[in-house]
Amino acid sequence: MEPEDAELNGFPHFMLKEIYEQSDTILNASEEAGAREGISKLGGLMPVWNDLKECRNLVIVAAELPIAGCVGKYIFEN
């Protein structure tokens, strides 16, 4: 994260700024996850993947974007 990311950059509030930045954020996240190669890489989870597979219960919290919780649930179930 860069310091200028925490500035309003002409928007009246951060909520509106976040709404307008969603398309760039989704593109950046999908590129990071390997979407262009047609695969999903969950690099942040890989170090603990085997431990997660052994869990009987897992709580997924997606406060700002509930669909992210649904996607996470789908990934872990499959």
| Same domain for 34 and 10 | yes
Encode pLDDT of 21-35 as tens digits: 888 877 777 676 665
Kindly state whether residues 1 and 34 are assigned to the same domain.
yes
pLDDT in tens, 18-73: 888 888 877 777 676 665 666 666 667 778 888 888 888 888 877 677 788 888 78
- Please name the residue ranges forming H helices in the chain: 14-32, 49-54, 66-77
pLDDT at 5: 65
Give me the number of domains the chain comprises.
2
Same domain membership, residue 16 and residue 33: yes
Residues 62 and 30 in one domain: no
List Cβ neighbours of 55 (8 Å cut-off, separation of 6 or more).
none
Domain that holds residue 36: 1-41
Instruction: Kindly state whether residues 29 and 58 are assigned to the same domain.
Output: no
Task: Clarify whether residues 46 and 36 are in a common domain.
Answer: no
Q: Residue 45: count other Cβ atoms within 10 Å of its Cβ.
A: 13
